[in-house]
């Protein structure tokens, strides 16, 4: 199993990527691990192979944070021009903006 650090939130939580798809939020002080939706839910199904073929470095979150409600996570992937959000417990990310290969989200 491969593991990468996607980013760090202003609160000091670590965003981890396992096996090129599974996202987890780790509190390094308490070691509490929270599952987040898989990254494949940010991409159209035809582009799921991007997660295995492209350099995982493309998926480094250049911005991340938790909204004031305490349950909404926001990720910004600057290299991919993607912005997504998900609430803890969701099964998918909501794509707020994307400009990958001519695809532009809402």
* Assessment of whether the complete model's pTM goes beyond 0.95: no
Ranges of each domain in the chain = 3-104
User: Would you state the pLDDT for residue 66?
Assistant: 83
- Angstrom CA distances, 46 to 42, 50, 80, 83, stand at 12, 9, 16, 19
The pLDDT of residue 52: 61
**Nearest CA-CA partner of 78 in 103, 98, 96, 50:** 98
CATH 1.10.3210 fits 3-104, yes or no: no
- Residue 106, pLDDT score: 46
Instruction: Label residue 2 exposed, middle or buried (CB < 10 Å: 0-12, 13-18, 19+).
Output: exposed
The tokens for 3 are 């593991």
87: left (phi over 0), alpha (psi -120 to 50) or beta: beta
pLDDT tens for the chain, residues 1 to 106: 677 787 888 889 998 887 767 889 999 999 999 999 988 787 766 666 666 655 556 666 777 878 888 888 888 877 667 888 899 889 998 988 766 554 444 4
What CA–CA distance (Å, rounded) separates 28 from 21?
21
């Amino acid at each position: 199993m491969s593991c990468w650090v996607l980013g760090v939130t202003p609160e000091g939580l670590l965003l981890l990527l396992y096996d090129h798809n599974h996202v987890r939020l780790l509190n390094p002080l308490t070691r509490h691990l929270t599952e987040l939706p898989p990254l494949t839910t940010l991409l159209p199904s035809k582009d799921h192979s991007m997660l295995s073929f492209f350099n995982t470095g493309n998926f480094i979150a250049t911005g991340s944070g938790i909204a004031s409600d305490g349950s909404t996570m926001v990720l910004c992937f600057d290299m991919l021009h993607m912005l997504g959000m998900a609430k803890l417990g969701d099964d998918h990310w909501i794509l707020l903006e994307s400009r990958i290969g001519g695809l532009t989200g809402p």
